[in-house]
């Protein structure tokens, strides 16, 4: 097996799901968001454990992700969290995936496909309360619901919105929640009762729980993987992913000797260089060149030179005991997803979800 690998602790993941399930309570529903291969953790294995630990729904990003779960024998409710193109409706209906809907063209395409396949299609209507991505505008929401309810093969089971700043802007988030609440109340006042009302992501779940009483389906991703939505935030949830490798080669270079492409690192002293067989083709970001670090024997070892496609060089001068074959920690204790994200000016979602298919997943129970 390749020495560079991703270790996924399924026991910790299950415990995270159980804690979230307990916090939400029995009267509300939990969706485990497993899009992007479960944020790089492995969608099939994670989905099976999520359902067994108490998740009611699964959330995917594209049709293919939903089909993968169906082909693995998963029968739970699966929602595609973004609206797909009209050309995808045949597969959506055939595989019993719940579409997110926010345009009339897509709505009518689903109706026609439902007639063709002789199926009633449950849908969730997305309303844009401030994300500016998918969603009908608030002033169009009620009319859109009425239109959808008038179609014979469409069943409107819920409505959803998205909170883009639940981790950074409580005032704007509260305005969104009030707006969505008002829209739901208007719908109910004219006889449109929506079974599922969904707005909470991980940040809202942690930071705005008191304002979510009218919403009964929580869409949780990051927190279930043990990653806080805010850097430095303490969570009662355990990180699930660790990325590890081994030192494949060691040599000492003299002062003036360069390391890697473009000679961005030139040794100022005799430097013990270790080569780690993981690179940007594996999803290890090239922007970590000369600024990131890995851990060997519990010590931080700086990355020197540019990260290459298949390998990264580290400075082992301060770890004289290091030998070829020794374990290297790339993500885990002492190197969180937020630590790496901070170094390359991104978010932890990107760090974990980009860990590539070349890295074997080792599932620990």
Active site residues: 35, 261
- Closest by CA to 187, choosing from 149, 155, 218, 134, is 149
Query: Closest Cα partner for 161 from 146, 175, 177, 147?
Result: 177
DSSP codes of every residue in 143-156: HHHHHHHTSTTEEE
Instruction: State how far the alpha carbon of 153 is from the alpha carbons of 76, 79, 87, in Å.
Output: 21, 18, 18
* CA atoms of 180 and 131, how far apart (whole Å): 12
Whole-number Å distance between alpha carbons of 65 and 186: 35
Ramachandran class of 135: left when φ > 0, alpha when ψ lies in -120 to 50, beta otherwise:
left
Q: Distance between CA 342 and CA 333 in Å, rounded?
A: 16
Cite the DSSP H helix spans in the chain: 10-24, 35-39, 43-53, 63-71, 89-94, 104-117, 138-149, 170-189, 202-207, 337-344, 348-353
């Amino acid at each position: 097996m390749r020495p560079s690998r991703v270790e996924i602790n399924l026991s910790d993941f299950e415990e995270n799901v159980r804690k979230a399930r307990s916090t939400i309570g029995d009267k509300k529903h939990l969706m485990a968001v497993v899009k992007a291969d479960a944020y790089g953790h492995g969608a099939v294995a994670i989905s099976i454990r999520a359902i067994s630990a108490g998740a009611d729904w699964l959330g995917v990003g594209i049709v293919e992700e939903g089909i993968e779960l169906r082909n693995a024998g998963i029968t739970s409710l699966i929602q595609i969290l973004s609206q797909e193109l009209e050309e995808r409706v045949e597969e959506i209906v055939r595989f019993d995936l719940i579409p997110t809907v926010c345009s009339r063209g897509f709505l009518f395409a689903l109706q026609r496909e439902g007639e063709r396949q002789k199926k009633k299609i449950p849908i969730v209507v997305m309303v844009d309360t401030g994300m500016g991505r998918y969603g009908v505008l608030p002033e169009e929401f009620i009319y859109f619901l009425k239109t959808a309810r008038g179609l014979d093969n469409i069943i409107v089971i819920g409505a959803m919105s998205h909170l883009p700043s639940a981790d950074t802007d409580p005032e704007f988030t509260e305005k969104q929640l009030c707006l969505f609440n008002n829209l739901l109340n208007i719908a109910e006042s004219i006889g449109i009762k929506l079974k599922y009302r969904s707005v909470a992501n991980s940040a809202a779940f942690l930071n705005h729980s008191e304002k979510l009483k009218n919403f009964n389906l929580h869409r949780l991703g990051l927190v279930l993987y043990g990653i806080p939505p805010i850097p430095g935030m303490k969570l009662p949830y355990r990180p699930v992913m660790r990325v590890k490798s081994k030192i494949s080669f060691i040599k000492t270079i003299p002062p003036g000797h360069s390391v890697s492409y473009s000679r961005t690192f030139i040794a100022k002293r005799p430097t013990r260089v270790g080569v780690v067989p993981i690179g940007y083709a594996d999803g290890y970001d090239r922007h970590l060149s000369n600024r990131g670090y890995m851990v060997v024997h519990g010590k931080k070892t700086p990355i020197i030179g540019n990260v290459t496609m298949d390998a990264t060089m580290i400075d082992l001068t301060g770890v004289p005991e290091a030998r070829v074959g020794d374990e290297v920690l790339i993500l885990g204790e002492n190197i969180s997803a937020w630590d790496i994200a901070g170094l390359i000016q991104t978010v932890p979602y990107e760090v974990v979800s980009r860990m590539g298919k070349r890295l074997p997943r080792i599932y620990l129970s």
